[in-house]
Amino acid sequence: MNNTTRRSMLQTLGGAAAIATQARPILGANDRVNLAIVGLGGRGTDHLNEYNKLDCRVAAVCDVNQAAQERAQTLVERAKGFKPKPFGDMRKVFEDKEVDAVSIATPNHWHALSTIWACQAGKDVYVEKPVSHNVFEGRQMIAAARKYNRMVQAGTQSRSMPHIQQAVQLLKDGIIGKVYMAKGLCYKRRPSIGRKPDQPTPPGIDWSCFLGPAPLRPFNELRFKYKWHWFWDTGNGDIGNQGVHEMDIALWGLGQTTMPKTAVSTGGKMVYDDDQETPNTQLATFDIGNGRELVFEVRGLISPPEGPLRPRGANLVGDIFYGEDGYMAVDSSGYWAYKGNTRELISEGKSAPGDTGPHMDNFLKAVRSRRKEDLNAELAVNVLASNYVHLANASYRVGRLLKWDAARERLAADAEAEALLTRKYRAPYVVPEKV
């Protein structure tokens, strides 16, 4: 770490410590939570609309795009009759004594630092998936949540869906016998992003702040507004976008709470000739020990049905669990368990309406109870799922199998791949070594 980075880190930590002393008193069971939403793109707008239906008050909105701030203010005013305070810099949000909790819907590369800053400032956090952009960040996020006693909920709303909770319980109860493999499927149709030249930053956008921890690059429309998912600086490909939901369910159903023994991933950007960096076709396999494995597949092109799962529109997204006596398929619409050589349907369940709303309501209840055990998707569970994503991507990028050293909590004898489990941060947007 050079002197400039060290000074920036100390300044950030010092500022966060000062902010933490200004935090509001702990809420009572009946107090209304004052919430700020950070990141107001498509998913951030979903956050806004859902929280407007719940027992909380959207007191502030924050985005690097001034037009997005204004749209969010209008949405709240129409629904609730008042305008929330607008912010362009999330650090100002964290300084606000009125704000109890923040809901983070920024691009992936901001998830960790915004969560850590919020925890240091005494705010509870709902953060979208994947919770981290790399393995190092997940470790630091957990450390911050524990040190500052913050409620941190990951945005994997499947954890609050009753039919998936029931399916996982049935797997634990042995409905298909010993489960030896889970397969996660992310067959989500993605068109080519094409190519576009760099251009001047449009008025009203703080591009440097958008990039934050990532390298400073010229503005390019393809690196903004959702397509940032397909560049390594800011995203993690579809395995870390849609796929991390199914990765989380696979680990949950397997009862897996530790890192894999090995990870290997292959694939590529098939068919398209464009500016996308991440693969649109990817296959990852994890040896999780005890004669079990987890397989994950991403397909961005047209794909057929798989087992009991059927496409919904152009997409097929879900999980299949394989047991000694049968198999179970799970997706957002339901679950189906089959047994024996005749593949007899022995149990099924359908989803209830809504997913994100109940998950956010669960977060708000934990904010009041101050019990992290009340969270359906407490930070650590999605740190694990995100880490599986990060190992898959690291294996894909270096082109070989990776071995995890559990005792040292790092990769075994692979410096090139290990370097991909963190990043060089751009000051002052540095995820600190000590939170």
pLDDT for position 217: 97
User: What's the mean per-residue pLDDT of the chain?
Assistant: 94
Residue 426 to residue 258: CA distance in whole angstroms? 31
Total residues belonging to the chain: 435
Contact 367, 100 (CB under 8 A): yes
Cβ proximity of 377 and 154 under 8 Å: yes
pLDDT at 355: 86
Q: Indicate the pLDDT class of residue 183, thresholds 50, 70 and 90.
A: very high
Give Cβ neighbours of residue 135 (< 8 Å, ≥ 6 apart).
387, 390, 391, 421, 422
Domains of the chain: 3-158+357-378 (3.40.50.720), 161-206+237-353+388-419 (3.30.360.10)
The Cα–Cα gap between 141 and 118 comes to 10
Question: Degrees (nearest 5) of the Cα angle 237, 241, 245?
Answer: 135
- pLDDT per position as a tens digit, 104-155: 999 999 999 999 999 999 999 999 999 999 999 999 999 999 999 999 999 9
**Residue 206 in this model has a pLDDT that exceeds 80:** yes
Task: Name 287's bridge partners.
Answer: 262, 293
Q: What is the DSSP letter of 58?
A: E
**pTM exceeds 0.85:** yes
Model confidence band, residue 27 (pLDDT cutoffs 50, 70, 90): low
Tell me the C-alpha distance between 140 and 12, whole Å: 15
Span 82-90, average pLDDT: 97
CB-based contact 285:270 (threshold 8 Å): no
Structure tokens at 37: 């939403």
d(CA 127, CA 24): 20
- pLDDT tens digits for 222-238? 999 999 999 999 999 99
Whether the predicted pLDDT of 12 surpasses 90: no
Model pLDDT for residues 280-290, shown as the tens digit of each residue: 999 999 999 99
Cα distance between residue 39 and residue 88, in whole Å: 10
Upper half-sphere CA count for residue 394 (Cβ side, 13 Å)? 28
Residue 353: what pLDDT? 83
Q: What per-residue string of b and e applies to 404-420 under the rule 16 or more CB within 10 Å gives b? A: beeeeeebeebeebbeb
DSSP string, 317-368: EEEEEEESSEEEEEETTEEEEEETTTTEEEEEEEPPS-SHHHHHHHHHHHHH
